Structure 1
Amino acid sequence: MMRPTHAPADHPSVKPAKTGILIANLGTPDGYDYWSMRRYLNEFLSDKRVVDLSKWIWQPLLQGVILTRRPFSSGKNYKLIWNHEENESPLLTITKSQTRALAALAEEEWGDQVMVDFCMRYGNPSTKDVLERMVEAGCRRIVFLPLYPQYAGPTSATANDQLFRGLMEQTWQPAVRTVEPYVSRPDYIKALADSVRRALDGKVPKKLVASYHGMPKRYLMQGDPYHCQCQKTSRLLREELGWPEGIIDTTFQSVFGREEWLKPYTVEHVAELAKQGHTDIAVISPAFSSDCIETLEEINGEIAEAFEEAGGHHFQYIPCLNDDPAHIRVMLEVIRDNIGGWVEPRS
Structure 2
Amino acid sequence: MNDGSSHCIERTPTDHPDVEFGKIGVLLINLGTPDATDSASLRRYLAEFLTDRRVIEWPRWLWYPILYGIVLNTRPKKVGKAYEAIWNKDEDESFLRTYTRNQALLLSKRFSDVPSLRVDWAMRYGQPSIRDKISELQQSGCEKILLYPLYPQYAAATTATVNDESFRALTELRWQPAIRTVPRYHDDPVYIEALARSIESHFSTLDWEPDLLLTSYHGIPMSYFKKGDPYHCQCYKTSRLLRERLGWANDRIMVTFQSRFGPEEWLQPYTDKTVEALAKNGSRKIAVVNPGFVSDCLETLEEMGVEAKEIFLDNGGEKFTHVPCLNDSDIGMNVIEHIVRKEISGWV
Smaller-chain TM-score range?
Answer: over 0.9
**Superposed CA offset, 1:245-264 (max 9, x none):** 11000000001111110000
Shift of 1:13: 5.3
Query: Could you tell me which residue of structure 1 aligns to residue 276 of structure 2?
Result: 271
Task: Give 1:172-183 correspondences, 5 Å limit.
Answer: 172-183=175-186
Query: Could you tell me which residue of structure 2 aligns to residue 43 of structure 1?
Result: 48
Query: Could you tell me which residue of structure 2 aligns to residue 196 of structure 1?
Result: 199
Counterpart check, 1:322 vs 2:327: yes
SS of residue matched to 2:251: coil
Are the structure 2 counterparts of residues 17 and 77 from structure 1 closer, same or farther at C-alpha, using a change threshold of 3 Å? Answer: same
**Superposed CA offset, 1:126-182 (max 9, x none):** 000111110110100001111100000111111111111111111100000001111
RMSD: 1.8
Q: 1:297 aligns with which of 294, 302, 305?
A: 302
Equivalent residues of 2:209, 2:285 under 8 A apart? no
Task: Give 1:211-250 correspondences, 5 Å limit.
Answer: 211-250=216-255
Query: Could you tell me which residue of structure 2 aligns to residue 90 of structure 1?
Result: 95
Are the structure 2 counterparts of residues 76 and 6 from structure 1 closer, same or farther at C-alpha, using a change threshold of 3 Å? Answer: closer
Shift of 1:9: 11
**Superposed CA offset, 1:8-62 (max 9, x none):** 9997953122000111001000001111100000000001111000011111111
Counterpart check, 1:19 vs 2:27: no
Equivalent residues of 2:155, 2:230 under 8 A apart? yes
**Superposed CA offset, 1:46-93 (max 9, x none):** 011110000111111111111011110011111111112211111001
Query: Could you tell me which residue of structure 2 aligns to residue 144 of structure 1?
Result: 147
Opposite residue 336 of structure 2, the aligned amino acid is M
Equivalent residues of 1:271, 1:310 under 8 A apart? yes
In structure 1, what is the Cα distance between the partners aligned to 2:338 and 2:57? Answer: 34
In structure 1, what is the Cα distance between the partners aligned to 2:158 and 2:16? Answer: 42
Per the normalisation by structure 1, the TM-score is: 0.94
Query: Could you tell me which residue of structure 2 aligns to residue 121 of structure 1?
Result: 124
Equivalent residues of 1:150, 1:181 under 8 A apart? yes
Equivalent residues of 1:285, 1:320 under 8 A apart? yes
Counterpart check, 1:153 vs 2:156: yes
Structure 2 residue ranges without an equivalent (≥5): 1-8
Shift of 1:324: 1.2
In structure 2, what is the Cα distance between the partners aligned to 1:268 and 1:51? Answer: 23
Query: Could you tell me which residue of structure 1 aligns to residue 5 of structure 2?
Result: none
SS of residue matched to 2:250: coil
Q: 1:77 aligns with which of 59, 76, 82?
A: 82
SS of residue matched to 1:39: helix
**Superposed CA offset, 1:200-231 (max 9, x none):** 11986320001000110111111100000000
In structure 1, what is the Cα distance between the partners aligned to 2:211 and 2:17? Answer: 67
In structure 2, what is the Cα distance between the partners aligned to 1:182 and 1:62? Answer: 33
Aligned residue pairs, count: 338
In structure 1, what is the Cα distance between the partners aligned to 2:278 and 2:65? Answer: 39
SS of residue matched to 1:246: helix
Counterpart check, 1:312 vs 2:317: yes
Quote the sequence identity (%): 49
Query: Could you tell me which residue of structure 2 aligns to residue 336 of structure 1?
Result: 341
SS of residue matched to 1:85: coil
SS of residue matched to 1:49: coil
In structure 1, what is the Cα distance between the partners aligned to 2:163 and 2:326? Answer: 23
In structure 2, what is the Cα distance between the partners aligned to 1:144 and 1:11? Answer: 28
In structure 1, what is the Cα distance between the partners aligned to 2:19 and 2:286? Answer: 58
Q: Runs ≥4 in structure 1, deviation > 2 angstroms? A: 4-14, 202-205
Are the structure 2 counterparts of residues 7 and 180 from structure 1 closer, same or farther at C-alpha, using a change threshold of 3 Å? Answer: closer
Shift of 1:327: 1.4
Opposite residue 53 of structure 2, the aligned amino acid is K
In structure 1, what is the Cα distance between the partners aligned to 2:15 and 2:341? Answer: 39
Equivalent residues of 1:205, 1:247 under 8 A apart? no
In structure 2, what is the Cα distance between the partners aligned to 1:93 and 1:18? Answer: 26
In structure 1, what is the Cα distance between the partners aligned to 2:90 and 2:18? Answer: 42
Shift of 1:342: 1.1
Q: 1:171 aligns with which of 174, 180, 187?
A: 174
Equivalent residues of 2:29, 2:124 under 8 A apart? yes
Counterpart check, 1:28 vs 2:28: no
Shift of 1:337: 1.1
